[in-house]
Amino acid sequence: MRETEPFGVTDQPRFLNQVVTGRWTGTPRELLAAAKAAERRAGRTPGRRWGPRVADADILFFDDRVVDEDDLRIPHPGIRERRFVLEPLVELAPDLRHPVDRRTVKELLADILPP
């Protein structure tokens, strides 16, 4: 788990971020429903976009699938710009490839790290 500066809305407390991997036998849509249910169980309530929240679960990748729906986009559209996501992801799976551009997450992280 990492404590990081808030993303999006910066006038709020620091965030705790964590990346996890797992296996899922259902569909991406079913995983999204399970993630949203877990957020609610953790105490998340509706609030402003990128504002303070108790929990926020995002689906970064789902195997090599690409999903582009109104409320579900996989791979996560912001992954290339989010160091707080890429750093722990590289620790878990540095050779994981983005299903669209086929670059590894290690390469994506190198793009946003200072030289």
- Is 71 annotated in the active site? no
- Is 103 annotated in the active site? no
Which of 53, 80, 83, 97 does the annotation list as catalytic? 53
Do 93 and 115 touch, CB atoms closer than 8 A?
no
CA distance 80 to 68: 17
- Is 56 annotated in the active site? yes
Residue 28: CB partners within 8 Å, gap ≥ 6?
Answer: 59, 62, 65, 67, 72, 74
What distance lies between CA 50 and its chain's CA centroid?
A: 13
Backbone angle region of 102, left / alpha / beta, with phi > 0 → left and psi within -120 to 50 → alpha: left
**DSSP string over 3-15:** EE--SS--SSPPE
Which of 14, 29, 40, 56 does the annotation list as catalytic? 56
- Is 44 annotated in the active site? yes
Question: Which residues carry out catalysis?
Answer: 44, 53, 56, 58
